[in-house]
Amino acid sequence: MTALISSTETPLVQHPWSADDERWMLRALELAAQAEAEGEVPVGAVLVRDGECIGDGHNRPIGALDASAHAEIQALRAAGAHAGNYRLPGSTLYVTLEPCVMCAGAIVHARVGRVVFGAADPKTGAAGSVFDTLVSPLHNHRVQVQGGLFADLAGDQLRRFFRARR
């Protein structure tokens, strides 16, 4: 069973994963593998609107020499360029790891409609695990958040990566 995390303004709803949700998360996992192959933490993200990928990305902080080059930010930048606008209403962001505070803030400012993530991040997650940035009722934009899609696959990918570095 999956849970939709939501602000007090949006009703809490239970949803099964759709075939499209699974398809796009599998693509995000492929991008995470690409990040890992480049020596980056394996996180991938895909931004979809109207059934079309409008932006994707994977972690690149080391290669880009840019602390903000997280997968979500890469996907938002690509989608903004594709759409000709930094605001992306009606879009869904699929990401293999629960967004951090920085990414959550960017997601809210971009007016992303929904975030679907794989593994929860018990250290820096900003969709309810540690911080409530994405689901805060204080924002003027409400993001629907659904976590746990392919959480085992995403979590295993991250654990293997960090185990290999220890």
Which two structure tokens, joined as six digits, stand for 121?
Answer: 């991040």
Residue 129 lies in a domain: yes
CATH number of the domain residue 81 falls in:
3.40.140.10
Residue 117 lies in a domain: yes
- How many Å apart are CA 108 and CA 140, to the nearest integer? 9
- The whole-number pLDDT of residue 6 equals 41
Amino acid at 117: F
Is there a contact between 68 and 103 (Cβ–Cβ < 8 Å)?
A: no
End-to-end CA distance of the chain: 34
Amino acid at 37: A
Interval 86-126: pLDDT, tens: 999 999 999 999 999 999 999 999 999 999 999 999 999 99
Is there a contact between 38 and 60 (Cβ–Cβ < 8 Å)?
A: yes
Interval 120-152: pLDDT, tens: 999 999 999 999 999 899 999 999 999 999 999
Interval 57-87: pLDDT, tens: 999 999 999 999 999 999 999 999 999 999 9
How many domains in the chain?
A: 1
pTM: 0.90
Which two structure tokens, joined as six digits, stand for 39?
Answer: 């020596």
Interval 38-50: pLDDT, tens: 999 999 999 999 9
Residue 7 lies in a domain: no
- 53 marked as part of a ligand binding site: no
- 109 marked as part of a ligand binding site: no
- The whole-number pLDDT of residue 71 equals 98
Helix (H, G, I), strand (E, B) or coil at 95: strand
- The Cβ of residue 50 has, within 10 Å, a number of other Cβ atoms equal to 7
- How many Å apart are CA 58 and CA 71, to the nearest integer? 4
Residue 107 lies in a domain: yes
Residue positions annotated with a catalytic role: 72
- 70 marked as part of a ligand binding site: yes
Domain residues for the domain of 93 are 19-164
- The whole-number pLDDT of residue 130 equals 96
